[in-house]
């Protein structure tokens, strides 16, 4: 699967969730769907990095694959340690 | 309810106009939310980073398809940028609101000046540096307007790395994308053509913004209702703007946007000193 197609899929999915969540909130339902939508959206760059890391490793550009993984690890470490 | 509708319309308008004029209207949202809608500073910043993630991803998808993004350069610069965002998100959690407003008051005028001058931005071809040569960072892309391949070399990598760190810190601290630093730096210092710099900067902005956005989400700083209204409004506006063939005087939009930013900056500075 192409990186841009994966990005389109994740982005569309998250925006649909955000929009549905917004509607459900105004119908006095739980804000969970909105939160899940926002979470999927802000996790998308990590998915993008992992896909790029995989592509880089498969094309033997190991250094850039490792750089992508380091970026993911920094994001996760910041999240866990905050 | 009225406030939410007005915020939605504002986000829609900013998304629409920024897509037509080709400027990052996301950085306008944070000061507008604070100054015109009375949104708390520490609520507006997480909204800003969430919008930065959404707009960056939407643009990056197109840029990746066209092959304009210099992924290798983006990955190299993303490490300091992400580290900067970590620092920014730590500062955000401990800094006083009035100091934050003061920083915003001084940084936003710089963004306003950039908005006015960005259309005149020209890249300068430079000699490739040793890091760029070793890592083979030079790139090429097909320019649809010129109808030919454009090849370029990357220069001053250490400066680009330092600038990316600063951009990451400001992104997390002020709720902006950070493209305002990365773009001119890549063009003027790094010798990268505007199209490749815009695409690579856009690719990086989403990742950097996600670093702080995830922390703000986890810590409960991200107000779901307002964040979703702004995201939906901005993305819808930008999509409509991109599809509209309306020709507008970009200079006027830039002047209006810069005016709003300058006004918001003055209000933020005055508010931080208790006036």
Task: State pLDDT tens for residues B28-38.
Answer: 888 889 888 99
**Residue in B closest to A52 by C-alpha:** B71
pTM of the model: 0.88
Token pair 């520490």: residue? B42
Mean pLDDT, residues B12-16 taken together = 86
pLDDT in tens, B150-206: 899 999 999 999 999 999 998 888 888 788 788 888 888 888 888 888 889 889 988
Which among A7, A21, A78 has CB closest to B61?
A7
| Secondary-structure percent of chain A, ordered helix, strand, coil, rounded to 5 | 85, 0, 15
Judged against a pLDDT cut of 90, whether residue B118 lies above it is answered with no
Closest chain B residue by Cα to residue A6: B61
- Residue A67 to residue B75, Cβ atoms within 8 A: yes
On the question of pLDDT at B21 being above 90, the answer is no
Residue B252 has pLDDT above 90, yes or no: no
Give the residue, A49 or A31, on which the prediction is more confident: A49
Q: How high is the ipTM of this complex?
A: 0.92
Nearest-Å Rg of the Cα atoms of chain A is: 16
Q: Tell me the shortest Cα–Cα distance from B237 to chain A, in angstroms.
A: 14
CB nearest A67 (choices: B76, B215, B219): B76
* pLDDT tens by residue, B214-244: 999 999 999 998 999 999 998 888 888 777 6
Per-residue confidence band for B13, with pLDDT thresholds at 50, 70 and 90: confident
Q: How confident is the model at residue B46 (pLDDT cuts 50, 70, 90)?
A: very high
Burial class (CB in 10 A: 0-12, 13-18, 19+), B273: exposed
Between chains, do B79 and A31 touch, taking CB under 8 Å as contact? no
Chain B positions touching A18 (Cβ under 8 A) are 228, 231-232
Longest Cα–Cα distance in chain A: 52
């Amino acid at each position: 699967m192409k990186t841009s197609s994966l990005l389109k899929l994740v982005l569309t999915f998250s925006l649909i969730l955000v929009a549905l969540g917004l509607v459900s909130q105004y119908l006095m339902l739980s804000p969970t769907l909105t939160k899940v939508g926002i979470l999927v959206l802000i996790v998308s760059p990590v998915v993008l990095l992992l896909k790029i890391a995989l592509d880089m490793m498969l094309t033997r550009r190991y250094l850039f694959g490792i750089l992508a993984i380091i970026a993911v690890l920094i994001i996760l470490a910041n999240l866990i340690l905050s | 309810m009225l406030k939410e509708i007005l915020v939605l319309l504002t986000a829609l308008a900013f998304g629409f106009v920024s897509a037509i004029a080709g400027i990052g209207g996301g950085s306008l949202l944070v000061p507008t939310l604070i100054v015109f809608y009375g949104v708390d500073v520490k609520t507006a910043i997480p909204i800003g980073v969430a919008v930065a993630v959404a707009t960056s991803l939407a643009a990056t998808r197109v840029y990746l398809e066209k092959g304009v993004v210099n992924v290798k350069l983006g990955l190299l610069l993303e490490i300091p940028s992400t580290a900067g965002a970590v620092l920014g998100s730590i500062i955000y959690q401990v800094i006083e609101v009035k100091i934050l407003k003061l920083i915003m008051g001084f940084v936003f005028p710089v963004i306003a000046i950039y908005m006015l001058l960005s259309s005149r931005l020209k890249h300068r071809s430079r000699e490739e540096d040793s890091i760029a040569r070793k890592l083979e960072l030079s790139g090429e892309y097909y320019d649809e307007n010129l109808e030919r391949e454009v090849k370029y070399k990357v220069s001053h990598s250490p400066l680009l790395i330092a600038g990316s760190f600063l951009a990451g810190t400001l992104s997390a601290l002020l709720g902006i994308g950070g493209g305002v630093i990365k773009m001119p730096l890549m063009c003027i210092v790094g010798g990268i053509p505007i199209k490749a710099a815009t695409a690579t900067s856009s690719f990086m902005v989403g990742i950097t913004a996600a670093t702080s956005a995830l922390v703000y989400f986890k810590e409960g700083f991200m107000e779901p209702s307002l964040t979703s209204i702004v995201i939906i409004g901005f993305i819808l506006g930008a999509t409509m703007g991109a599809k509209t063939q309306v020709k507008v005087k970009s200079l006027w939009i830039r002047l209006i946007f810069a005016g709003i930013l300058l006004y918001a900056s003055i209000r933020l500075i005055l508010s931080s000193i208790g006036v």
